[in-house]
Structure 1
Amino acid sequence: MASPPCKMTAQLAFKAGGDVFHRIFTINPQHLVRAAPTKILGCNIRHGSFQTVGSVIEWIYYLDGKQRTCLQLIESVDEEKRRVAFKFITGDLLQRYKNFVLAFQVETRAEKDYIIWTVDYELLDAALPHPISVLKFVIELTVEIEAHIFG
């Protein structure tokens, strides 16, 4: 039996600038191959463009020690809130989860930028594990991007 909708979030201070982070994902996500080579192996547009809702991106990445591939639909882009949501439409994760959406938002509070990652999902079977490794992945990805920016 499937689980009810679930949500996990993580928040990280990002000293390299939230606008920089947002631009990498919306304008130039291919740069992630250089910024986080231990996580991202490839990023290709399959349909549309990187900034456009409804576009499809292919990601080649490492998760849980394995190389994986997925297609993500850009579900929403909110430039004002600096928020982007990606819905998984193919890939290994959909063998365990349905309606899997990964989103980030940049928030500025007290002159500090924070990256807030959200994972919305449903387990296909309530006995399956929650996607904690995905949340760990995006936390580590964020840290690697910041380290790359600071050189």
Structure 2
Amino acid sequence: MTAKIKIEDIDDGDMSITFNVIQGDVLRIYKSFKAKIQVLKVHKGAGSVEWTLEFEKANVNAPDPEEYVDFAVKMSKGLDAYLCKN
């Protein structure tokens, strides 16, 4: 599945990036689709990542975007590896 995204917002204070899908196969299933990734500080330099998805289904038969969970996990692990090195 393809998706062309636009970075809609980068919030340094919130430590988040919001992406908006503007083209691609994703928009055949959803009228709109946004994803926000936020780094949350927990304790003593450790942290976690939180994903928020906002979407509107193109029709009642459109599935929930569960297949994007695997993508979010892979991207979060990549972000974690990058942050641990830098």
Equivalent residue number for residue 35 of structure 1: none
Whole-Å separation in 2 of the counterparts to 1:104 and 1:71:
17
| Structure 2 counterpart of 1:143, from 73, 77, 86 | 77
1:10-49 residue pairs with structure 2 within 5 A?
none
Equivalent residue number for residue 11 of structure 2: 78
Give secondary structure in 1 for the equivalent of 2:2.
strand
Structure with greater contact order relative to length (CA < 8 Å, sep ≥ 6): 1
Change (3 A) 1:143 1:78: same
Q: Which runs of 5+ in 1 are unaligned?
A: 1-67
Scaled by the length of structure 2, the TM-score of the pair is 0.81
1:130 matched to 2:64? yes
Asked whether the 8 Å contact 1:119–1:135 carries over to 2, the reply is no
Whole-Å separation in 1 of the counterparts to 2:75 and 2:10:
20
% identity of equivalent residues = 25
CA RMSD of aligned residues (A): 2.1
1:112-131 residue pairs with structure 2 within 5 A?
112-131=46-65
Give secondary structure in 1 for the equivalent of 2:21.
strand
Scaled by the length of structure 1, the TM-score of the pair is 0.49
Q: CA deviation at 1:141?
A: 2.4
What one-letter code is carried by the residue in structure 2 that aligns with 1:97?
Answer: Y
Asked whether the 8 Å contact 1:88–1:99 carries over to 2, the reply is yes
Q: CA deviation at 1:144?
A: 4.1
Q: Which runs of 5+ in 2 are unaligned?
A: none
How many equivalent residue pairs? 84
